[in-house]
Amino acid sequence: MVRRLFLHHARRRLHSGTASSIPLSTPIFAIFGANTGVGKTLVSAGLATALLSSPSPAVSSVAYLKPLQTGYPVDSDASFVFSRTPALLRAFPPCRATRLIASCRTFFQSPAVEAKAESLHESQEKVVTYGAGAAEQTKVLACCTAYAWREPVSPHLAAEREGMAAGDDEVKGCVEQWLLEEGIGEGGEVWKILETAGGVASPSASGTLQCDLYRPFRLPAILVGDGRLGGISSTLSAYETLLLRGYDVSAVILEDRELSNDKFLLSYLRNRVHVLILPQIPEDPLDDLTDWFSESSSIFIFLKDELQSFHSRRIERLNSMQRKSKALLWWPFTQHNLVPQDSVTVIDSRYGENFSVYKIKDKMLIPQFDACASWWTQGPDSNLQIELARDMGYAAARYGHVMFPENVHEPALHSAEVLLGGVGKGWASRVYYSDNGSTAIEIALKMAFRKFSLDHGIMASSENSTRNERNIQLKVLALNGSYHGDTLGAMEAQAPSAYTSFLQQPWYSGRGLFLDPPTVYIKSEVYNISLPQSMQHDPQTYGDTCFFSQAEVFCKTRDKTFAADLYSSYIKQKLSEFSLSSSSEHLAALIIEPVIQGAGGMLMIDPLFQRVLVSECRSRKIPVIFDEVFTGFWRLGVESASELLGCLPDIACYAKLMTGGIIPLAATLATEEVFESFESDSKLTALLHGHSYTAHAMGCTAALKAMQWYRGPSTNSNLDTDHMKLKELWDGTLVKQLSSLPNVKRVVSLGTLCAIELKAEGADAGYASLYASSLVQQLRKEDDIYIRPLGNVIYLMCGPCTPRDSCTRQLLKVHRRLCALN
């Protein structure tokens, strides 16, 4: 019965890579070992006993879970805890008279176990009393084994040899179910203890390391150290392995083998974690350990107190974070008056695509799908996150930070090679590193202006520039709705908006000719081209403004249509008007976000228009800058958005996804011709722009790993290797259905992005709109999707490696909400 119930729940599996809900009302700890055979189960039993005998805090119930057990039934850690704890309670200091209901269950046994273990019940229960006087209270000890194999080897071998697999999702499903089960028992706390198998990095049944398998839960760890010769090393290494998975270690506890390992560890781990020492464990297999437990009781009681205090501090801190953040922080882009304290999102950790969010009312950690892909940077799935943590730890330890001009180090050089062989392939020959998208743009503009000035004879000799040149005004050619960053130089290259008002940036003047671009969107299952009002045309001559597939929109044959001619004459006319209006002003650079304008509201620009624009600039020797900070590195389904456009820039900027979106780094790539325009014999003509962390080793190391991970068929299962593009992530049918909803104005779906503009009029439209906010609140609170709207545009964004089924789940939730709104 019990088993069937459990089975039923376990089938409600966790999806790969998703995080899990974790109750924090209950103290829950995971026991990890520095090695196998260091006494994890003794610690489990000792801790359970200390808890059940404790007058303060009053503990009503202890649940123990051994998810993976090998060597069963000879070795059964759950059975040990079940059978020994009741007896041990008498060895601990006397407490109030108590009735204990103890149970022991095993859910899944391999055929080899079932064949041999006739005598073993899969479920046992007993009732004992302990303490002084007549039993006044009832407590519960519930011990479970989830999966049991017979051979005393690593679970991955046992699973293979005995023919009972236990996939990660199944095991995590069991653990989640166990975590969410309410404890029984009267008037006191419920504690839970999960005991892992072997060492911290021992393989689970699937081969996933245990520290990785249980990472979605990120339970505070108790590390059972190694008291033997060499044990300092294995304990510290195990500790570091846990840190490199983002675990908090609440205590280290180890056996005394008279080598003073504890003293050394105590000193080394001072201010980090408590170290406790247990008496030497008798080696005689006949010793029933009663004396040892009795001798150890004060240590286990101390451990229990430490854990209690660790748990309380954690909860206190989590409970205070909303209040403190409102008092101390100043968030970007945020009107603090509009953020009530209880709407602040407390992020306890992240696992792959999911935040783990603390809900103060429920005392729960809830996974939320990060639909803004941490503001457009985020790339890693849960595996890449761990790889990046390890690689960046290595880079920090190897290089710290080393300055860059006139120097070279391996990560900077190697990532330059990968950049030039990837997004820069076929055009770029130089990499200029900086540290964010905005600085990459300012550098690109400086490059373009120099190249333009030389090509157009604005500086006869570049070294003799004088104040006279100040009469010459260099401007950019750009598109309305564009966004290139928040530093002044980047802002000057974008059209006026709420961001650029006098209130925001009194120094902004808008140094550009800003054209109105035609856009593309899906509405009622059809791709529509929307022409700006300024582009006067005869609807008859333009031709089709409707397409039935994305491929048609991007098709190069459109170059030969009337639409191309219309675009070309519109651009020519604007350029000609500009040059007539002033002889001292020059359009010295074209700067565009290829295909998608992100901050502008996730607008898809007609690729044909951008292609024509690039071509017109080329013929005038105006350098072309692609701002790929948002669009680069598979954001739009291809490594570089220039592949979608079908034309190449002279200069391009990359950041965000480049490093996996985990650490700041930016790069401006340029052609050799652009580079050469800075060459001379004088330092004064060099590009005198830099930032302290240019090409910093950790950033370059992360970039290397991320760039290679995205484009590796073995690491990115979304990759269509034949076409070197991502498979469809947002279900096409669902996207079309969305586009047909009456409250949806338009949909843009490309690569990792699916944006939905809601119908809104007047004050509801635009950046300041709060129109979407109730929808957003529902999605956040009830659907566990962390959405951040852009005015009346909501969007889902994933990483290049996010599994398609996860995308579909999120999109279904949005679809359901939008249907309900109607």
Paired sense of beta strands 651-654 and 666-670, if any: antiparallel
Instruction: Give the residue, chosen from 449, 527, 609, 709, that forms a contact with a copy of itself under the rule CB under 8 A.
Output: 449
CA distance 751 to 757: 17
CA distance 250 to 252: 7
Contact status: 578 vs a copy of itself (CB under 8 A)? no
Instruction: Mark the segment that binds a copy of itself (CB under 8 A) among 12-20, 385-393, 528-536, 603-611.
Output: 385-393
Instruction: Mark the segment that binds a copy of itself (CB under 8 A) among 39-47, 199-207, 275-283, 735-743.
Output: 199-207
CA distance 740 to 794: 16
Nearer to a copy of itself, 153 or 180 (CB): 153
Q: Site size for a copy of itself, by CB under 8 A?
A: 178
Which residues from 147-186 bind a copy of itself, rule CB under 8 A?
Answer: 152-154, 156-157
Cβ neighbours of residue 499 under 8 Å, at least 6 residues apart? 483, 486, 491, 505
Contact status: 256 vs a copy of itself (CB under 8 A)? no
799: closest CA among 716, 712, 732, 721? 716
CA distance 752 to 727: 10
Instruction: Give the residue, chosen from 25, 123, 260, 717, that forms a contact with a copy of itself under the rule CB under 8 A.
Output: 260
Minimum distance of a copy of itself from residue 264's CB (angstroms)? 6
Which residues from 280-319 bind a copy of itself, rule CB under 8 A?
Answer: 317
List of E strands, 200-248? 221-224
Instruction: Give the residue, chosen from 218, 311, 484, 711, that forms a contact with a copy of itself under the rule CB under 8 A.
Output: 218
Minimum distance of a copy of itself from residue 146's CB (angstroms)? 20
43: closest CA among 310, 277, 284, 232? 277
**Burial environment of residue 760 by CB neighbours within 10 A (0 to 12, 13 to 18, 19 or more):** middle
Structure tokens at 570: 């519109």
Minimum distance of a copy of itself from residue 274's CB (angstroms)? 18
Minimum distance of a copy of itself from residue 705's CB (angstroms)? 11
Instruction: Give the residue, chosen from 126, 324, 425, 556, that forms a contact with a copy of itself under the rule CB under 8 A.
Output: 324
Nearer to a copy of itself, 363 or 398 (CB): 398
Nearer to a copy of itself, 297 or 349 (CB): 349
Which residues from 509-528 bind a copy of itself, rule CB under 8 A?
Answer: 509, 511
Contact status: 470 vs a copy of itself (CB under 8 A)? yes
CA distance 399 to 409: 9
Q: What φ, ψ does residue 40 adopt, rounded to 5°?
A: -55, -45
Instruction: Give the residue, chosen from 370, 593, 616, 628, that forms a contact with a copy of itself under the rule CB under 8 A.
Output: 370
Instruction: Mark the segment that binds a copy of itself (CB under 8 A) among 187-195, 228-236, 289-297, 811-819.
Output: 228-236
Instruction: Mark the segment that binds a copy of itself (CB under 8 A) among 11-19, 483-491, 525-533, 725-733.
Output: 483-491
Which residues from 113-152 bind a copy of itself, rule CB under 8 A?
Answer: 152
Paired sense of beta strands 793-797 and 603-605, if any: unpaired
CA distance 203 to 241: 14
Nearer to a copy of itself, 249 or 744 (CB): 249
Instruction: Give the residue, chosen from 267, 583, 584, 822, that forms a contact with a copy of itself under the rule CB under 8 A.
Output: 267
786: closest CA among 369, 374, 347, 377? 369
27: closest CA among 232, 250, 212? 250
Which residues from 728-767 bind a copy of itself, rule CB under 8 A?
Answer: 767
The DSSP string of 561-574 is SHHHHHHHHHHHHH
CA distance 579 to 40: 79
The DSSP string of 247-316 is PPEEEEEEE--SS-HHHHHHHHTTTT-EEEEEPPPP--TT---HHHHHHHHHHHHHHHHHHHHHHHHHHH
Contact present, 588 and 449 (Cβ < 8 Å): yes
Minimum distance of a copy of itself from residue 587's CB (angstroms)? 13
CA distance 170 to 67: 10
Instruction: Give the residue, chosen from 319, 383, 505, 561, that forms a contact with a copy of itself under the rule CB under 8 A.
Output: 505
Contact status: 16 vs a copy of itself (CB under 8 A)? no
Nearer to a copy of itself, 68 or 431 (CB): 431
Minimum distance of a copy of itself from residue 32's CB (angstroms)? 10
Contact status: 216 vs a copy of itself (CB under 8 A)? no
Instruction: Give the residue, chosen from 788, 804, 808, 809, that forms a contact with a copy of itself under the rule CB under 8 A.
Output: 788
Instruction: Mark the segment that binds a copy of itself (CB under 8 A) among 34-42, 163-171, 545-553, 554-562.
Output: 34-42
Nearer to a copy of itself, 5 or 770 (CB): 770
Mask: binding to a copy of itself, 651-690, rule CB under 8 A, as x and -?
A: ----xx----xxxx-----x----x--xxxxxxxxxxxxx
Instruction: Give the residue, chosen from 501, 524, 576, 717, that forms a contact with a copy of itself under the rule CB under 8 A.
Output: 501
Contact status: 591 vs a copy of itself (CB under 8 A)? no
**Burial environment of residue 173 by CB neighbours within 10 A (0 to 12, 13 to 18, 19 or more):** buried
Instruction: Give the residue, chosen from 169, 410, 585, 728, that forms a contact with a copy of itself under the rule CB under 8 A.
Output: 410
Angle formed at CA 720 by CA 717 and CA 723, multiple of 5 degrees: 155
Which residues from 686-725 bind a copy of itself, rule CB under 8 A?
Answer: 686-696, 698-699
Nearer to a copy of itself, 472 or 821 (CB): 472
Rg (CA), the chain: 31
Nearer to a copy of itself, 102 or 477 (CB): 477
Nearer to a copy of itself, 432 or 570 (CB): 432
Longest Cα–Cα distance of the chain, Å, equals: 103
Nearer to a copy of itself, 294 or 708 (CB): 708
Contact status: 541 vs a copy of itself (CB under 8 A)? no
Instruction: Give the residue, chosen from 224, 388, 478, 700, that forms a contact with a copy of itself under the rule CB under 8 A.
Output: 388
CA distance 425 to 428: 6
Minimum distance of a copy of itself from residue 27's CB (angstroms)? 19
Nearer to a copy of itself, 420 or 555 (CB): 420
Q: What φ, ψ does residue 526 adopt, rounded to 5°?
A: -120, 145
Instruction: Give the residue, chosen from 56, 119, 337, 733, that forms a contact with a copy of itself under the rule CB under 8 A.
Output: 337
The helix/strand/coil state of 447 is helix
**Virtual CA dihedral for 739, 740, 745, 748, nearest 10 degrees?**
10
CA distance 589 to 592: 10
